[in-house]
């Protein structure tokens, strides 16, 4: 499981995460911080993309340089909080296609309920990054990845900002082939299945709802 989970300890990520956790941070700043952290995470999570050499002409001379070797990417946010990470990911990889998975957590059972799915038609040719700021119980992430796997993508990675040990165990057990990336691994869940110390409900803080 340890090799399957990468926790980013970059100082910029940790600095921004501190302000995301602060209950006094308003929605505007919170959205900006989610975007900034997501962009930094995208930079790290795509580090293993293969490269190939191409011949180009600079204003000064001909040279050999490198470009990404034809790998097609897709970003799939889990609605709705995952959408807060999407624009930052697209700013880094604007050619990526986008899908959406709609899941909500039943307030009684705490289990995810699917209500929407729309994936790129060529997802079988793509490496997929599933986006959700919080990995709490892991139920939504597990179900979303199960849904996406039915379309047989080339690979799947899961990006979140905070992860609880319970969610990490659930996701890595259900999908041992999926690499998990997070900005921090927190202590655990409270009785309502919210991450502690966490940052509250990410969707509510991104969109200014309660």
Q: What is the pLDDT of residues 29-81, one digit of tens each?
A: 999 999 999 999 999 899 988 899 999 999 999 999 998 887 799 999 998 89
Contact call for residues 140 and 170 (beta carbons, < 8 A):
no
Q: Which residues are known to be catalytic? A: 105, 109, 201, 204
- Banded model confidence at residue 112, pLDDT cuts 50, 70, 90: confident
Task: Please state the pTM of the whole predicted model.
Answer: 0.91
Position 2 scores a pLDDT of 66
Span 124-131, mean pLDDT?
96
pLDDT in tens, 149-201: 999 999 999 999 999 999 999 999 999 999 999 999 999 999 989 999 999 99
Residue with tokens 């199960």: 146
* Tokens at 37, concatenated: 């952290």
């Amino acid at each position: 499981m340890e090799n399957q989970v990468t926790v980013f300890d970059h100082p910029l990520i940790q600095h921004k995460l501190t302000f995301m956790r602060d209950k006094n941070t308003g929605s505007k700043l919170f959205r900006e911080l989610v975007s900034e952290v997501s962009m930094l995470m995208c930079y790290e999570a795509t580090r293993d993309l293969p490269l190939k050499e191409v011949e180009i002409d600079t204003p000064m001379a001909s040279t050999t340089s490198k470009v990404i070797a034809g790998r097609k990417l897709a970003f799939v946010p889990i609605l709705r909080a995952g959408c807060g990470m999407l624009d930052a990911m697209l700013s880094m990889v604007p050619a990526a296609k986008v899908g959406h998975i709609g899941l909500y957590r039943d307030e009684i059972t705490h289990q995810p309920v699917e209500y929407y799915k729309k994936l790129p038609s060529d997802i079988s040719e793509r490496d997929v990054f599933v986006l959700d700021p919080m990995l709490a119980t892991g139920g939504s992430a597990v179900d979303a990845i199960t849904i996406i796997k039915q379309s047989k993508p080339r690979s799947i990675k899961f990006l979140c900002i905070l992860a609880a040990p319970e969610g990490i165990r659930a996701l890595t057990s259900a999908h041992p082939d999926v690499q998990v990336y997070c900005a921090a691994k927190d202590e655990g869940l409270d009785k309502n299945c919210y991450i502690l110390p966490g940052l509250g409900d990410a969707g509510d803080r991104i969109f200014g709802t309660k």
